[in-house]
């Protein structure tokens, strides 16, 4: 055998070996299974990120920052966080909020501009009316005028859908044969998702009416009937949410959701971000329902601003 033949055979062997390594790596990991045979999402997962939900308008369809742009953006946000008192102050903020997710410019990936679709004319009118009503009543006449988060009833980061916030970005999955429990650290909310094929109910709920199914290795959760007091970014009775949870590695779940509400947005929209395994545990978020002391202080302060009658 000549030297050229030996070299060519060696190169061919190396090429075959490289291909085998790539194929083996791609196929080496498969999701573990529960006792009932379903993909196992169990455990505690964190979804904190600095990446904003919507992309800055000036970025157009630029989905990813360059490394230099990402570093500058992160420094700017960290500097801003250092002088911002948001809820409990920056010392409480999740470490994950110090970094972008894969240098992405937005969590929204559809539409391509990374922004929520325009509101319908009717939704714009409703939003303007709500804003005017808030201005007219001031801080609030009573507890019902204050936000659900201020009253420790519900927080938007808890979902549905899940949305990263400044802290408590942890979620735990508990699975049985007939249901999946999605337990969020923020305001300790638990969403029980039946997996037995039953149809949606007709009662509106604080976290909507969810039904789940498996699409291969992906948990698909379909949610409707969100109560109007827990409206998601202005959604109404036509709100429809589809979430997809796919475990793609020992420490990562790909999370993607699609929202549609034809009386609110001119088209559906989607966002995606990873959930990363956390050693936990999830601690109790002891914001008691009603948040009495804070609400009393807010309303007492508001009364000092009331005009003398």
- Using one digit for the tens of pLDDT, what is the confidence trace for 74-128? 999 888 877 766 556 667 778 888 899 999 999 999 999 999 999 999 999 998 9
Q: What is the predicted pLDDT for the residue at 113?
A: 97
Q: Are 202 and 225 in contact (CB under 8 A)?
A: yes
Residue spans of the domains in the chain: they are 43-52+120-304
Task: Look at the domain 43-52+120-304 and name its fold.
Answer: Lipocalin (2.40.128)
Mean pLDDT of 159-172: 92
Mean pLDDT of 52-80: 94
Q: List Cβ neighbours of 173 (8 Å cut-off, separation of 6 or more).
A: 41, 42, 43, 45, 180, 181, 182, 183, 245
DSSP-derived letter for residue 38 is S
CA distance 227 to 231: 7
Helix (H) or strand (E) holding 215: strand 209-215
* Residue in 217, 273, 176 with CA at minimum distance from that of residue 29: 217
Q: What is the predicted pLDDT for the residue at 304?
A: 81
Q: What is the predicted pLDDT for the residue at 115?
A: 97
State how far the alpha carbon of 57 is from the alpha carbons of 39, 65, 121, 127, 234, in Å.
Answer: 39, 14, 21, 21, 21
- Using one digit for the tens of pLDDT, what is the confidence trace for 126-163? 989 988 887 777 777 788 888 888 888 888 888 899 99
pLDDT of residue 24 exceeding 80, the answer is: no
Q: Which has more confidence, 137 or 231?
A: 231
């Amino acid at each position: 055998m000549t030297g050229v033949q030996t070299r060519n055979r060696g190169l061919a062997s190396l090429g075959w070996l490289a291909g085998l390594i790539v194929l083996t790596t791609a196929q080496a990991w498969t999701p573990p299974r529960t006792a009932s045979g379903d993909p196992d999402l169990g455990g505690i997962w964190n979804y904190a990120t600095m990446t904003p939900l919507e992309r800055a308008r000036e970025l157009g369809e630029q989905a990813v920052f360059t490394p230099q742009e990402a570093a500058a953006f992160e420094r700017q946000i960290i500097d801003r966080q250092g002088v911002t008192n948001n809820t409990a102050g920056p010392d409480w903020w999740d470490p994950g909020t110090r970094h972008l997710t894969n240098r992405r410019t937005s969590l929204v990936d559809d539409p391509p501009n990374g922004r929520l679709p325009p509101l319908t004319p009717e939704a714009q009118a409703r939003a303007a009316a709500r804003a005017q009503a808030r201005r007219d009543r001031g801080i609030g006449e009573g507890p019902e005028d204050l936000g659900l988060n201020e009253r420790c009833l519900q927080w938007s980061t808890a979902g549905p859908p899940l949305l990263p916030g400044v802290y408590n970005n942890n979620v735990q999955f508990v699975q049985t044969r007939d249901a999946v429990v999605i337990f969020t650290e923020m305001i300790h909310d638990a969403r029980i998702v039946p997996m037995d094929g039953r149809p949606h109910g007709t009662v509106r709920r604080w976290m909507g009416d969810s039904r789940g199914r498996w699409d291969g290795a992906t948990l698909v959760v379909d949610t409707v009937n969100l109560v109007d007091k827990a409206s998601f970014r202005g959604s109404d009775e036509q709100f429809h949410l589809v979430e997809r949870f796919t475990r793609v590695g020992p420490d990562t779940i790909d999370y993607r959701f699609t929202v549609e509400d034809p009386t609110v947005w001119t088209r559906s929209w989607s966002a995606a971000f990873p959930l990363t395994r956390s050693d936990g545990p999830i601690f109790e978020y002891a914001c008691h329902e009603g948040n009495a002391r804070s609400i009393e202080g807010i309303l007492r302060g508001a009364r000092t601003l009331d005009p003398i009658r």
